[in-house]
Amino acid sequence: MPSPHLPAVRVAVIGGGPAGLMAAEVLAQGGAAVDVFDAMPSVGRKFLLAGRGGLNLTHSEPTAALLERYGPHAARLRDTVLAFDGSAVRAWAAGLGISTFVGSSGRVFPEDMKAAPLLRTWLHRLRAGGVRFHTRHRWTGWTPDGALCFATQAAGEVTFRADALVLALGGASWPRLGSDGAWMPVLQQQGVATAPLVPSNCGFDVAPTGPGRSGWSDHLRQRFAGQPVKPVAARCTDASGPGDAQQGEFVLTDSGVEGSLVYAFSARLRDEVARHGQATWWIDLLPQHSEAQVLAEVARPRGPRSLSTHLKSRLGLQGLKMALLHELLGPQQLQDPQQLARAIKALPLTLVRPRPLDEAISTAGGVRFDALDARGMLLARPGVFCAGEMLDWEAPTGGYLLTACLATGRAAAEGALRWRAEAAAASPGAPGP
């Protein structure tokens, strides 16, 4: 807590999503005067949308396993997530009066599955703690003398001065909810190192399956688009490659595939497409059967029965799964028992592009970690701290995104408080950002 003889440090937080709100909470608890700015008419809009199907707060798996979900950036996020892991997220929710439970997949949800009660209670606690909110304020940068600039509908351009600044501006996957990536050129002009924003947890378009096609055949698209393919397992290597298979389901779209199982592989598939122009996603249509079992049933004499009737009767293959085999295999492969059995267990989908950024659940890219010091402060702009999805990391769905947003918001706030305390001790009256 600050000394009662010193004036309160004023900190601006730009971005009213989970990372920004968590930063505001920690700052207020640390004795700072906190002002939260957001371009939208209200805060937490993406948070509310994400909770429509059931708010996935975090994941219950051990922290070491949870950290692995952040891939190449796990090492940089390690201390941050360890300080506010899945157990801490659940304890924090309980402090807001929100009970949670662990689902069958290990994901953690509020008892009522809803986001609105949690957000409403959270905002009430923040306001009671002195946090002030300024909506419809779009940040545009700094004045020459260091004041923050905002474009508003009611008052035009306004400025605000703060002793420190936390940026939690999100990625670029939800422009209608405020996450549009418009902050990128502002920071780049300040010399901040960034990585391009690219889609994460996204769908993909498939390669044309016939001459003159742009993707799926008209028959497959018109009859099956929007339907789930389940249960299946998928991998990024064929059956002879490393054991990276995951089981789940995905959805056939007009132009390709999307859904939870696709999202689990989206980072690897996206990077493979960027390197080689396409990626192969291998689908096991019968994960409950071994290839030997499948081959035995496929090779069994079928007499006058059609192949579709035979596979339905012997293996339960029908509907969309059978349609995918006809879509992706030629007549010779369909009639050869060994080739058909191999394809049922490892059906190759050739993916040629991720879906556009504004269709993705989240984004990768943003402010590079080497643009920050150990406190989360921009090296090119002292006094400015970054948090949330605007940082260059990504994770699959399952509570990992929200956990890291909350954890990095907390870490940025702690870094800002520590920096101001150090600056005050070294040079009382030091200017803000």
285 and 370 belong to one structural domain: no
Give the mean pLDDT of 362-376.
Answer: 96
Q: Examine the fold and report which residue of 335, 354, 373 is the final residue of a domain before the chain moves on.
A: 354
310 and 227 belong to one structural domain: yes
215 and 326 belong to one structural domain: yes
Give the mean pLDDT of 57-79.
Answer: 94
Give pLDDT tens digits for 237-289: 755 544 578 999 999 999 999 999 999 999 999 999 999 999 999 999 999 99
Give the mean pLDDT of 344-353.
Answer: 96
143 and 264 belong to one structural domain: no
Query: For residue 375, is it within any domain?
Result: yes
Give pLDDT tens digits for 69-116: 999 999 999 999 999 999 999 999 999 999 999 999 899 999 999 999
Query: For residue 431, is it within any domain?
Result: no
**Which CATH number fits the domain that encloses residue 152?**
3.50.50.60
Whole-number pLDDT of residue 428: 61
Whole-number pLDDT of residue 40: 95
Whole-number pLDDT of residue 337: 94
Query: For residue 3, is it within any domain?
Result: no
Dihedral in degrees, nearest 10, Cα atoms 269, 273, 279, 285: 40
107 and 65 belong to one structural domain: yes
Find the length of the chain. 433
159 and 75 belong to one structural domain: yes
Smallest CA-to-CA distance from 260 within 270, 271, 249, 252 is with 249
216 and 252 belong to one structural domain: yes
d(CA 65, CA 63): 5
Whole-number pLDDT of residue 266: 95
Whole-number pLDDT of residue 5: 41
Query: For residue 57, is it within any domain?
Result: yes
Whole-number pLDDT of residue 176: 87
Calculate the alpha carbon distances from 5 to 1, 8, 34, 163, 429 in Å: 12, 9, 19, 17, 14
Domain total in the chain: 2
pLDDT over threshold 50, residue 4: no
The pTM is what?
0.91
pLDDT, averaged across the chain? 92
Domain ranges, residue 52? 10-199+363-426
Whole-number pLDDT of residue 8: 79
47 and 170 belong to one structural domain: yes
Give the mean pLDDT of 209-234.
Answer: 89
Q: Examine the fold and report which residue of 354, 380, 414 is the final residue of a domain before the chain moves on.
A: 354
Query: For residue 432, is it within any domain?
Result: no
Q: Examine the fold and report which residue of 294, 322, 354 is the final residue of a domain before the chain moves on.
A: 354
Whole-number pLDDT of residue 49: 86
Give pLDDT tens digits for 146-160: 999 999 988 999 999
